[in-house]
Chains A and B, each alone.
Chain A
């Protein structure tokens, strides 16, 4: 805690109260310089990743790691990571998991939120706490039963098993956000539609969900990223190359191909990061909204 304060104090001091602080004051300039310097420092690992993922095996051995040599080897290294490192299979599975599971979870979570807010489920808040509290449980607490039971139910090392687990893991967050979002929709809308004879099911699909597209999208993007980046569930519940998610495949590749073929592993790391980074850049606003919705 004190460290937080100290760090904050340092930053506050870098913005001193000069008399002419407005907009282009001395403080503003110092702040900008500090931000740019640290921003560049923050990008160093990204530079190293790209520069070295793009080196051919000859260049990797002979050229210093800080020295750029162009992007000549990048495609070849990625190809090798795709084929030899078997990231290709993992990418397909992970793509399926990160689209299907959050899509199911937002609908199921939204239905629960709708039941609590619009249909006024009895003891709704208690049920809400039951669903939401599940987010706190560390995965470690459920790994053994998931492994054991999925073997017994023949869902171990199956894509359908992975989809079920990922879906359920993302339901609590979806329910939390959607319930809070639905609370902001005027109740008159629900009542008016009810008076007009619309069933709760119709009101849910035709009014509540279409009104919540932005929140649904925010939850979807955030949870899709979470699933894309998962390691632990993949490590526990999969074995074969075509079911194993991509991060689990990347870890396996790193321990097998480290050392002299590090440039291939780096290219693999870059390859599996591109989808989420691009998604993040494209949906920056939605992403931020999801973060904010999830916190408050």
Chain B
């Protein structure tokens, strides 16, 4: 592999005009970058374009693809399943910002400065190493009709024992957001923890001497200083929630009926189960556009920091 790396000539080789010493390496630079660029182009960007093209066709996975213009997009918004999926995806976005991110921040603040913080954080971090599918298996067991939760509520004479957690809608979407919170809150706590640890002690001490209380400290010192990090965490949470697939697929497969469908799931169903590739592609494009807009939130920041490092 290493030999092919160097022999791959870069298009820009030798064209550098500055005449500085680095030109010596221009040829090799292209060679080192080529494998990553080639693979990403062939396996990610080209498919990306092909899916974009398919969204304007009536392709079924077999035979010819006929151009249908914007039909797939127009049909998308009159499709009842699609509307359900959009609404549920919106629940996922809102719920993911409120729960895993909110609880993550709360946990980070609670743990901050405590001796032995690793051990306090561990129970919350552990589920992150578990896959979405395994999370789905465990929570199906807990939430299924007459499952562990219902039995516990009945035993404790608490309300909610008559709820069908995975069947009633939109309850089923919200409990799955809960399962994802169980999985993801600890990581957000970890990220916020890194942010809190990087806050210089000076301003905090000064504010304390001025008699600032817990809430005032948070409002005027911690929160403003965490803002840049919060942007990244919220951005990642939005992007992650838009892509939600594994937990839902493992728990309800979007059902019963289509009640817990999300955009990511509906795309898969339309394509590989209903064989409506054109309409599946249109959903994929729609999902991608929202995701890219949301990712703009944190990508800009990550990339500008990367540039600053340069």
Give, as a whole number of angstroms, the nearest-CB distance from B91 to chain A. Answer: 13
A42-B123, A142-B47 as given contacts; A112 in contact with B250, CB under 8 Å: no
A247 to B46, CA, bound (A): 27
Cβ A136 vs Cβ B239 within 8 A: yes
A110-144 Cβ-contact flags toward B at 8 Å (1 or 0)? 01101111111111110111111110111111111
User: B29: which A residues are within 8 A, CB to CB?
Assistant: 115-116, 119-122, 124, 200
**Is B103's beta carbon under 8 Å from chain A?**
yes
Chain B CB within 8 A of A251 CB: yes
Interchain CB contact under 8 A, A137 and B44: yes
CB of A34 within 8 Å of the partner chain: yes
Interface pair B152/A66, CB less than 8 Å apart = yes
8 Å CB interface, B226-261 against A: 229-230, 232-234, 236, 239, 242-243, 245-246, 249-250, 253
**Residues of A65-112 contacting chain B, CB below 8 A:** 65-66, 108-109, 111-112
User: In the complex, are the beta carbons of A200 and B107 less than 8 A apart?
Assistant: no
Given the interface contacts A115-B33, A269-B134, does A134 sit within 8 Å of B103 by beta carbon?
A: no
Q: Are A145 and B28 in contact (CB under 8 A)?
A: no
Q: Tell me which of B16, B45, B125 contacts A134 (CB under 8 A).
A: B45
Verify if B35 is at the interface (C-beta below 8 Å from A): yes
User: B151 — which chain A residues lie within 8 A by C-beta?
Assistant: 64-66
The interface-forming segment of B67-75, B80-88, B157-165, B211-219 is B211-219
Closest to B194 in A: A292
B272 interface contact, C-beta 8 A: yes
**B171 interfacial by beta-carbon distance below 8 Å:** no
CB contact between B134 and one of A4, A128, A172, A250 (< 8 Å): that residue:
A250
A11 at the interface (CB under 8 A from B): yes
A288 to B190 Cα, complex, angstroms: 8
Distance A133 CA – B162 CA, assembled complex (angstroms): 47
Q: Does B167 contact A (CB under 8 A)?
A: no
The distance from the CB of B66 to the nearest CB of chain A, in whole angstroms, is 16
Is A213 part of the binding interface, using a Cβ–Cβ cutoff of 8 Å? no
In Å, the complex CA distance between A24 and B198 comes to 23
**In the complex, chain A residues whose CB is within 8 Å of the CB of B232:** 295-296
The contact size tier of chain A is 35 or more
The answer to whether B224 has its CB under 8 Å from any CB of chain A is no
CA distance A111 to B134 in the complex (A): 35
A200/B25 contact (C-beta < 8 A), A138-B288, A288-B190 known: yes
| B206 part of interface (Cβ distance < 8 Å) | no
Which of A15, A27, A139, A172 has the largest count of B CB atoms less than 10 A from its CB? A15
Please tell me which one of the listed residues A15, A52, A141, A146 contacts residue B110 in the complex, with CB atoms under 8 A apart. Answer: A15
Are A144 and B50 in contact (CB-based, < 8 A)?
yes
How distant is the Cα of A171 from the Cα of B263 in the complex, in angstroms? 26
**A186 within 8 Å of B (CB atoms):** no
Q: Give the distance to chain B from A232, nearest Cβ to Cβ, in Å.
A: 6
B137 A119 Cβ-Cβ under 8 A:
no
List residues of chain B with CB within 8 A of the CB of A235. 249, 268
Residues of B within 8 A of A133 (CB): 299
Contact with B along A214-254 (1 / 0, CB 8 A): 00000000000100110110011000000000010011001
A38 to B288, CA, bound (A): 36
Residue from the list A15, A42, A231, A258 in contact with B245, Cβ < 8 A: A231
Q: Is B5 an interface residue (CB 8 A)?
A: yes
Cα-based distance from A11 to B110 in the complex (angstroms) = 6
Instruction: State which of B98, B182, B303 has its C-beta within 8 Å of the C-beta of A3.
Output: B98
Please tell me which one of the listed residues B114, B125, B299 contacts residue A32 in the complex, with CB atoms under 8 A apart: B114
- B-side residues, CB < 8 A to A, are 2, 5-6, 10, 12, 15-16, 22, 25-26, 28-33, 35-37, 39-40, 42-48, 50-51, 54, 61, 97-99, 101-103, 105-107, 109-111, 114, 118, 120, 122-134, 136-142, 147-148, 151-152, 155, 182, 187, 190-191, 194, 208, 211-215, 217-218, 223, 229-230, 232-234, 236, 239, 242-243, 245-246, 249-250, 253, 263-264, 267-268, 271-272, 277, 280-281, 283-285, 287-288, 291-292, 295, 299, 302-303, 305-307, 309-310
22 A-B pairs, CB-CB below 8 angstroms?
A: A3-B98, A10-B106, A17-B208, A28-B114, A43-B123, A46-B126, A115-B28, A119-B25, A127-B33, A131-B36, A133-B299, A138-B242, A138-B243, A138-B287, A140-B288, A141-B285, A142-B47, A145-B46, A168-B39, A176-B306, A269-B137, A270-B134
- Which 7 interchain pairs have the tightest Cβ spacing? A7-B102, A145-B47, A229-B131, A11-B106, A3-B98, A115-B32, A119-B29
Interface set of A (CB-CB < 8 Å, partner B): 1, 3-4, 6-17, 27-28, 31-32, 34-36, 38-40, 42-43, 45-46, 48-49, 52, 64-66, 108-109, 111-112, 114-125, 127-134, 136-149, 164-165, 167-169, 171-172, 175-176, 179-180, 183-184, 199-201, 204-205, 225, 228-229, 231-232, 235-236, 247, 250-251, 254-255, 258, 262, 265-266, 268-270, 272-273, 276-277, 279-281, 284, 288, 291-292, 295-296
